[in-house]
Structure 1
């Protein structure tokens, strides 16, 4: 069954109960900070640091200089973690369970406080019991080019693992600051994954948040990179579950938070 955004049945209202799940145009107003790559993990997936601003609730334009997502690894990880929790909720906590089928950075909207909201449910489907691993047939392949799970594309069978693959691409965007399709030809997965798999994270890491990341930042970002690699495994059954993705992102965020400099006011009191 395909979820229709305009027809909110009681079942749909139940799965929208998570605070990070929203339908665009309904409920909260959300601002998508769009980059050249079309991304809304916001200002962190632009091309060369040039970002087109969405409108925040206060009317201020989102720019590369004003966005904490473009300037802070901590904020990028907070956005990733919030979006991952929303997808995990769809896969494990919603009633009924849902496969989003179009996870992409442009469907991760940011509100005025930079809190992520997962949207874009026009092609979502309810999970069929007993088809968690082999997938369920859906006929037409839907999604956004650059994010679509190759296995889903070949077989037209969808599973939660397809959302995991798409979110793996979102994580690559957050790490590299590059769009999912480069110059309209090269997939970000193809250009980036070999570097990550060979331990060359520094070669592809976006320099906008920090020209020289600290060792602890690199530790956290390497954990994100290793998580993305597992999400992008060719075979769905080898990918992480979203609960594992959430756990890894939470750990990475803790590493960064625990090693940030203490505010001057607090330090002066010690």
Structure 2
């Protein structure tokens, strides 16, 4: 009994599949079930149209994929060059704080680094704190420093780029140390200026190279575009023709098989 039920289910499923592929109305089912030559030809025509459409779509898809691959291979070296130059620009050194410059010559509260002059809090500097708090972080670009002395003391005057200044005073017996630190700051200001000049020059060079590489990439892409467009248009035409053939086969079936048109 169970075998019979399974057999009936299989047969029913087969009939349903057949009807979905070759629909008809109950009174005119001969195109679906008949074994005559005309009916076989009608079924074969629809089946062939479906097969041709699948093949046309597969061929169109493959031709487009091949064309896009060739186009990508054409432009890949130029894209890689653009990325390399952009990465080189992003990797340019940034004028942050930099390394300490001659720490043995520092005088509280001044600490000199490659790109900044720090003023640390005096109370912490005098106590020799391991990590004193920074009171002011002054980038060296545009900084001017002067050595001065009076009858009672010597001092360092630091002038900021905006023209404001601040002075630090030291005992007379520290005159040599104060002068040495002033020299170090002046020299480091010049080194920082040269660093910025080289950095700006290199960045300008990379910007120009990126623009040239992007122009090369655009030209390479445009050079391969006609072939790509031609193949895409041929693929669209191939699909449209296959659709038209299948549509005609469906319409013919609709006329001959009782008014129902196949779904696909």
Q: Same fold (TM over 0.5)?
A: no
Normalising by structure 1, report the TM-score.
Answer: 0.22
In terms of Rg, which structure is larger? 2
More helix by share: 2
Normalising by structure 2, report the TM-score.
Answer: 0.23
